[in-house]
Structure 1
Amino acid sequence: MTHVTVYSTGPSCQRCRLTCQRLDALGIRYDLVDIHAEHNAEIRAFLVDELGYREAPVIEAGDARWSGFRPDLIDGLASGLGIG
């Protein structure tokens, strides 16, 4: 299965929670990274300044990356169809 990382802005982010809940429900394992944590400042700068993301969460699944709560893309991961 594709390695998945969820870059979150923390527990108050509804889209982040929904994304994690969907991944959990489908049995997709992922790493959760809080980009507001002080030790993750470089990751946050990369996602925002370098890549231009302005919406949380940012999901990285293999070579694909997207932002926001995208159940269609998450379902694609679960079904083995890939992204998009």
Structure 2
Amino acid sequence: MNETTVTVYSKPACVQCTATKRHLDGKGLVYRDVDMTENSAALEYVTDDLGYAQAPVVVVDDHNHWSGYRPDLIDKLT
């Protein structure tokens, strides 16, 4: 099975961010969590390059991405 690279761009006190990370944890998926409030380059990437205005933003293998809590898309990763 190929190793999938998942990055969650999140912010503190974000309910959808917490739900996303809990769902990923529950599926046993490994991911990298990037706090956009502490990383201006990550914030710029999410807003300017990807065009999102809502956290979290989940990026899978640098080509598949979405915003918000999407359990349906998380489930497809397993």
Q: TM-score, normalised by structure 2?
A: 0.90
Structure 2 Cα separation of the partners of residues 25 and 42 of structure 1: 29
Q: Aligned pairs, how many?
A: 75
Runs of 4+ in structure 1 off by over 6 angstroms are none
What secondary structure is seen at the aligned counterpart in 2 of 1:29?
coil
Secondary structure of the 2:34 match is strand
- Whole-angstrom CA distance in 2 between matches of 1:23 and 1:44: 21
The unaligned stretches of length 5 or more in structure 1 are 79-84
Q: Which runs of 5+ in 2 are unaligned?
A: none
State the one-letter code of the partner of 1:45. Answer: E
- Aligned-partner Cα distance in 2 for 1:16–1:46: 17
Instruction: Give the TM-score of the pair, scaled to structure 1.
Output: 0.84
2:10 and 2:57 in contact (8 A); partners too: yes
Residue 50 of structure 1 is matched in structure 2 by 49
Q: Secondary structure of the residue that 1:36 maps to in structure 2?
A: coil
The C-alpha deviation readout for 1:20-67, integer Å capped at 9, x for no partner, is: 000000000000000001xx1011012112321011100011120111
* Cα RMSD, aligned residues only: 0.9
Residue in 1 that maps onto 2:27: 26
Q: State the identity %.
A: 44
Take 1:59 and 1:50, find their aligned partners in 2: how far apart are those partners? Answer: 14
Answer whether contact 2:34 2:42 (CA < 8 A) is retained. no
